[in-house]
Structure 1
Amino acid sequence: MAYYLGIDGGGTKTYALLTDEYGNVLGKGKSGNGNHQINVDIAANSIREATLSALSEAGLQLEDIRHAYLGLAGADREVDYMILHPIIRNIGFTNYTINCDTMIGLRAGTNHPYGISIICGTGTNSAGRNTQGEDYQCGGFSYMYGDFGGGGSLNIEVFRSVIRAWDGREQPTLLTDLLLQLLGYDAVEVMFNDFQDYGKQVPVDAVRLLFEAAAKEDVVAIEILNHQGVELGKSAVAVVNRLGMANDAFDVVLVGSLLTRGDRGWIRGPIEQALLTVAPHASVVTLTTEPVVGALWSAMEEDGLTISEEVHVRMRSFSDFELIK
């Protein structure tokens, strides 16, 4: 019997999933931050802890694993891999692959080992893999390096739109009352002065107000969400062009809370329009399972296995990590 391990290391949680070659779940593990860019030592401990928990539940040792695939946030450039490989080898991994967590989100959302993934959560990122197995990542490095949006930026768009409506540079918007209620102010002027005087920051949670206002046909909110979609569409097109995927049929997997919860097409619509012009055979789909499942499937494929439809169906329903304390 062959055993495989998938790791999803994010900024807040690290998941480990261990199965046999038929996709039967034998062990699970959960820990904290797995992004070395936040804290190297904590990330190393989280990956180790999640791995050991999954192995313990399965009654296996690390040397029993045929291949492990680690999708890690922050695994973006060669300098990152120079840090990560010693960490992973020190834990005891020998047969393993490291890749950016964007790629396991892609693999979890499609039945194919190729396609494009677009992430829009706290931040944004996009990456793809063509039928020749070539990868390309576009973005994921912040606004200064070409990105736009994600919850960590759109919250600011909410705030500044309310300020602009108040001072006359923007039309009135439903975001005003929603933001005042969220932050506990009676008037925009009071909020403005309080933020100025005390250097306050807009909570990321403010981004959800865009969806509330857009659902009531607020023009300002819809424009912001559409802008987000246009920018993500540009990233997807860049991946298509870089990897020569224009004539291929593949899935574009939408990952992250802004794309999977709340959006009614305000973001997705511009993405679909952008792709239609350059890759008419592409299909836009929304991720519905845990990205760690994509890491597990990638581990199998790195070992030469082909994922059967039965395994795809069985594992797409796996989503019980929140039960792990």
Structure 2
Amino acid sequence: MNYYLGVDGGGSKTLAVVSDEQGQIVGRGMSGCGNHQVGAELARRSIREAVAEALSHAGLVREQIEFAMFGLAGADREADFRILRPMMAELDFPAHDIVCDTEIGLRAGTRQQDGVVIVCGSGTNCFGVNKHGESLQCGGFGYNYGDFGGGSGLAIEVFRTVIRAWEGREQPTLLTGVVLQTLGYSSVEHMFHDFLDHGKVIPRHLTKALFQVAEHDEAARRILQRQGEELGIAAAAVIHKLAMMQDSFDLVLVGSVLTRGDSRYIIPHIEKNVKTAAPGCSLRRLALEPAAGAVLLAMERAGHRVAESVYERLDDGLSVKEVGA
């Protein structure tokens, strides 16, 4: 029996899983932040801990893993890989590789080897692979480098919209009441001065306010619409640059804003852009842990053909709970 290791190293948690060649999960381990951009030593420790726990749970040693695939947040540029290559080499697996976590998210969300993925979690990103194996990333580096939104950015949009409505630069919005209640202020004026006086950071969880009031609030719908449009623009750019306009493939939607929020206010605006670029693409919300994509890539890099039964077993072992709730 051959065994494969898949690791999903994100900003908040690292999940490592061991699968046999039939897709049966025989070991798993969990640890903290696996993004080296947050802290290289923290990421090293988290990945080591998750991997060690997964191997122990499986009752295996490193030499028994045919291929290990690390899907890591922050693995975007050559400067990142110069840090990550020696870090992963220290784990001493017989064969391994490193990809960005967007790539394992894509592979977990489709049964094809080509496709496009949009990520909208704490930030945004887009990545695609065409049928020739050519790949491209668009975004992932923040607002200053062309992105819009994600959980952190949307929270800022919520906060500034409440401020603008208080000042009279926008119409009154239901976001005001939700934000004041969430943050514990009696008035926008009090909140405004308290944030300025103490240099407070706008909390990411304010993003939830958009979905709470969107049905009855134009300002909230406008923000969510822009998020959808921007994600669709990024996906369309990838589709055009990889010449996928005539192809049939899946567009995988990843991240809490897309998989747990009310899709009515974002996804139609994504779909409009991507269907114009590639009428043959199908939108799919991620239903598996991204670590499943790391396992599938590990199998393929080792030359193992992925049968339908493998997908079915991964569905059983690594399904995302309450997707779309």
- Same fold (TM > 0.5): yes
| Superposition deviation, residue 321 in structure 1 | 9.6
Q: How does 1:200-239 map to 2 (within 5 A)?
A: 200-215=200-215, 217-239=216-238
- Counterpart contact for 1:290–1:318, Cα < 8 Å: no
Whether the 8 Å contact between 1:127 and 1:239 is mirrored in structure 2 is yes
Q: Partner residue of 1:187? A: 187
Name the amino acid aligned to 2:101: D
SS of 1:244 mapped into structure 2:
coil
Alignment of structure 1 residues 125-204 onto 2, 5 Å: 125-204=125-204
**Counterpart code for 1:301:** E
Residue 40 in structure 1 maps to residue 40 in structure 2 = yes
Number of equivalent positions: 321
Deviation at 1:108, TM superposition (A): 0.7
Long gaps (5+) in structure 2: none
**Normalised by the size of structure 2, how large is the TM-score?**
0.96
Aligned position for 2:284: 285
> Match of 1:102?
102
CA distance in 2, matches of 1:274, 1:320: 29
Deviation at 1:264, TM superposition (A): 2.6
Q: What is the CA deviation profile of residues 59-85 of structure 1, one whole-angstrom value per residue up to 9, with x for unaligned ones?
A: 211111111111000100011111111
Contact 1:118 1:254 in 2 (8 A): yes
Further displaced range: 116-125 or 47-56: 47-56
Say if 2:228 is the partner of 1:246: no
| Counterpart residue identity of residue 316, structure 1 | D
Gaps of 5+ in 1: none
Equivalent positions of 1:290-305 (< 5 A) are 290-305=289-304
Provide the C-alpha distance between the structure 1 equivalents of 2:105 and 2:293, rounded to a whole number of angstroms: 6
Q: Which amino acid aligns with 1:179?
A: V
Aligned partners of 1:245 and 1:266: how far apart in 2? 26
Encode CA deviations 1:94-139: one digit per residue, 9 max, x unaligned: 3111100001011111111111110001100110111111111100
**Partners of 1:21 and 1:281 in 2: how far apart?**
32
* Deviation sequence 1:232-259 (CA, Å, 0-9, x none): 0111011101111111100000000000
* Alignment-mate amino acid for residue 153 of structure 1: G
Partners in 2 of 1:263 and 1:227 — Cα distance?
15
SS, match of residue 264 in structure 2: coil
Q: Which amino acid aligns with 2:41?
A: D
**Aligned positions of 1:261-276 closer than 5 A:** 261-276=260-275
Report the Cα distance in structure 2 between the residues aligned to 1:44 and 1:199, rounded to whole angstroms: 32
Residues 101, 306 of structure 1: alpha-carbon distance in 2 compared, 3 angstrom cutoff: same
How far apart are 1:93 and its partner, in Å?
2.4
CA apart distance, 1:306: 2.2
Please report how far the alpha carbon of residue 28 of structure 1 lies from its aligned counterpart in structure 2 after TM superposition.
0.7
* Counterpart Cα distance in 2 of 1:67 and 1:95: 5
> Residue 93 of structure 1 corresponds to which residue in structure 2?
93
- What is the deviation of 1:320? 7.9
Q: Is residue 30–residue 321 contact of structure 1 (8 Å, CA) maintained in 2?
A: no
Amino acid at match of 1:289: L
Q: Which moved more, 1:193-202 or 1:33-42?
A: 193-202
Q: Distance in 1 between matches of 2:313 and 2:183?
A: 44
For residues 142 and 14 of structure 1, what CA distance do their matches in structure 2 show?
22
Following superposition, the deviation at residue 36 of structure 1 comes to 0.9
Counterpart of 2:27, as a letter, is G
Q: CA deviation at 1:195?
A: 1.5
Kept in 2, the 8 Å contact 1:151–1:207? The answer is yes
Deviation at 1:263, TM superposition (A): 2.2
CA-CA distance at 1:266 after TM superposition:
1.1
Residue 214 of structure 1 and its aligned partner are, at CA, apart by: 0.4
